[in-house]
Amino acid sequence: MIQTINFLKPNRDNIKNYSIIGTFLVLVSLIDVISNAFLKINLTSFLPGSLTTLFPLIIGLIGLNMMRIDYSGNKKLDLLNKNINTNNFNALLTLLILFSIIKALPQSLSWMIFDATISGDSKDACTGTGACWTYIKVWFRRFMYGMYPNEFHWRINTAFILVIALGFVGYFMKENLKKYLALYYVIIYPVIAYLVIYYLISGGSFGLQWVETGAWGGLSLTFIVSFFCLIFCFPLGMIFALGRRSNLPVIKYISICYIEFWRGVPLITVLFMSSVMFPMFLPEDFFMDKLVRVIIAITLFEAAYCAEVIRGGLQSLPRGQYDAAKSLGMGYWKMHIFVILPQALKLVIPGIANTFLALVKDTPLIFVVGLAELAGMLALAKTNPKWLGFAMEGYIFASIVFWIICYAMSKYSYNLEAKYKTER
Amino acid sequence: MSDPIIKIQNMNKWFGDFQVLKNINLEVEANKKIVVCGPSGSGKSTLIRCINRLEEHQEGDIIVDGNELSEKTKDIEKIRAEVGMVFQQFNLFPHLSILDNCTLAPIWVKKMPKKEAQELALDQLKKVQIDDQANKFPGQLSGGQQQRCAIARALCMQPKIMLFDEPTSALDPEMIKEVLDAMVSLAKGGMTMIVVTHEMGFAKEVADEVIFMDEGMIIEKADTKEFFANPKSDRTKLFLSQIL
> Contact A334/B80, CB-based, under 8 Å?
no
Same domain (yes/no): A140, A63:
no
> Contact A323/B87, CB-based, under 8 Å?
yes
B contacts of A331 (beta carbons < 8 Å): 77
Structurally, chain A folds into a number of domains equal to: 2
Q: B232 pLDDT exceeds 70?
A: yes
Amino acid A76: pLDDT: 81
Query: Could you give the angle at the alpha carbon of A252 between the alpha carbons of A247 and A253, nearest 5°?
Result: 140
Same domain (yes/no): A105, A29:
yes
> Contact B93/A343, CB-based, under 8 Å?
yes
Same domain (yes/no): A215, A295:
yes
Nearest to B129 by CA among B156, B103, B148: B148
Residue A11 lies in a domain: yes
Mutate one of A248, A319, A327, A416 to test the B interface: name it (highest B CB count within 10 A). A327
B125 - beta bridge partners?
none
pTM comes to 0.82
A contacts of B102 (beta carbons < 8 Å): none
Note whether A328 and B105 are within 8 A (CB): yes
Amino acid A1: pLDDT: 45
Same domain (yes/no): A287, A405:
yes
Element (H, E) at A320: helix A319-327
Query: In this predicted model, what pLDDT tens digit does every residue of B184-229 receive, in sequence order?
Result: 999 988 889 999 998 888 999 889 999 999 988 999 999 999 998 8
Same domain (yes/no): A138, A72:
no
Residue A41 lies in a domain: yes
Same domain (yes/no): A95, A225:
no
Same domain (yes/no): A50, A143:
no
The shortest C-alpha distance from B223 to chain A (Å) reads 29
Same domain (yes/no): A416, A310:
yes
Residue A46 lies in a domain: yes
Residue A205 lies in a domain: no
Q: List residues in chain A touching B: CB distance below 8 A.
A: 318, 320-321, 323-331, 334, 338-339, 342-343, 346, 420, 422-424
Same domain (yes/no): A61, A139:
no
Residue A154 lies in a domain: no
Which domain CATH number covers A356? 1.10.3720.10
Note whether B36 and B47 are within 8 A (CB): yes
CA distance B104 to B148: 17
Amino acid A9: pLDDT: 65
Query: In this predicted model, what pLDDT tens digit does every residue of B137-156 receive, in sequence order?
Result: 998 999 899 999 999 999 99
B contacts of A346 (beta carbons < 8 Å): 95
pLDDT tier for residue B116 given thresholds of 50, 70 and 90: very high
Same domain (yes/no): A281, A229:
yes
A contacts of B83 (beta carbons < 8 Å): 327
Q: Which residue of A has its CA nearest to B163?
A: A327
**By three-state DSSP, how is residue B71 classified?**
coil
**By three-state DSSP, how is residue A67 classified?**
helix
Q: B25 pLDDT exceeds 60?
A: yes
Q: List residues in chain B touching A: CB distance below 8 A.
A: 49, 52, 54, 77-78, 80-85, 87, 89, 91-95, 104-105, 108-110, 137-140, 150, 153-154, 157, 163
> Contact A324/B94, CB-based, under 8 Å?
no
Same domain (yes/no): A226, A79:
no
Query: In this predicted model, what pLDDT tens digit does every residue of B64-112 receive, in sequence order?
Result: 888 888 877 778 888 888 899 999 998 999 989 999 999 999 999 999 9
Same domain (yes/no): A270, A381:
yes
ipTM associated with this complex:
0.91
CB under 8 A, 24+ apart: contacts of A53-59:
A55/A29, A56/A28, A56/A29, A56/A30, A56/A32, A56/A95, A56/A99, A57/A29, A57/A92, A57/A95, A57/A96, A57/A99, A59/A25, A59/A26, A59/A28, A59/A29, A59/A32
> Contact B85/A346, CB-based, under 8 Å?
no
pLDDT along chain A (424 residues), means of 10: 55 75 87 84 76 83 82 78 83 90 86 78 74 80 82 83 83 72 80 84 76 82 90 91 91 93 91 82 77 89 93 92 92 90 89 91 87 85 80 86 92 87 60
Element (H, E) at A328: none
Range of the domain at A51: 2-114
Residue A336 lies in a domain: yes
Residue A411 lies in a domain: yes
> Contact A324/B92, CB-based, under 8 Å?
yes
Q: What's the CA dihedral at A235, A238, A239, A243 to 10 degrees?
A: 170
Amino acid A80: pLDDT: 82
Residue A218 lies in a domain: yes
Amino acid A55: pLDDT: 84
Query: Could you give the angle at the alpha carbon of A223 between the alpha carbons of A222 and A224, nearest 5°?
Result: 95
